[in-house]
Amino acid sequence: MHLAYPAVLAALLFCVGLYGVLARRNAILVLMSVELMLNAVNLNLVAFDVWLRDALHAGQALTLFTIAVAAAEIGIGLAIVLMVHRNRGTSDVDKLRDTAEAAADDDPTDADEDAAPDSPAPKAAEAAA
């Protein structure tokens, strides 16, 4: 098998996941897109491991570790999303703007991630921690 097939498929899957992360509004759909990106990386790891015939099979071992870390990540991520939903009543990432700069309120496409020091959001900081 040509190595180009799995490599191209992994690249395309990664870009599909990238689009999902950037374009989705629901936080759980963003987590799904992150899973797609992680799976693209896993496919690359397995393909290159099979190609290189590594004696230690580092690619497959790292794939297993990535799958386990992804499972842990989805658990923690869902716990955070549920907590935000319980505190805020929404899980839209567009509406969680308490740490944005004050000048960015009228420009929704230019969200700044820096935390304003006088932001009246103790719950947002708590949920992000």
Q: Which residues, numbered 15-74, are part of the site for another protein (CB under 8 A)?
A: 15-20, 22-26, 28-29, 31-33, 35-36, 39, 42-43, 46-47, 49-53, 56-57, 60-61, 63-65, 67-74
User: CB burial class (10 A; 0-12, 13-18, 19+) of residue 1?
Assistant: exposed
Kindly state the tokens that stand for 27. Answer: 């936080």
Residue 102 in contact with another protein, rule: CB under 8 A: no
Indicate the residue among 22 and 114 with the shorter CB distance to another protein.
22
Residue 75 in contact with another protein, rule: CB under 8 A: yes
Residues that bind another protein (rule: CB under 8 A) add up to a total of 84
Report the distance separating Cα 65 and Cα 74, nearest Å.
14
Residue 117 in contact with another protein, rule: CB under 8 A: no
Helix (H) or strand (E) holding 56: none
Nearest to residue 90, comparing CAs of 54, 127, 50?
Answer: 127
Residue 103 in contact with another protein, rule: CB under 8 A: no
What is the maximum span of the chain, computed from C-alpha positions, in angstroms? Answer: 58
Least distance in angstroms from the C-beta of 2 to another protein: 6
Nearest to residue 38, comparing CAs of 80, 1, 74, 79?
Answer: 74
Query: Binding string, 78-97, against another protein, x = CB under 8 A?
Result: xxxxxx-xxxxxxxxxxxx-
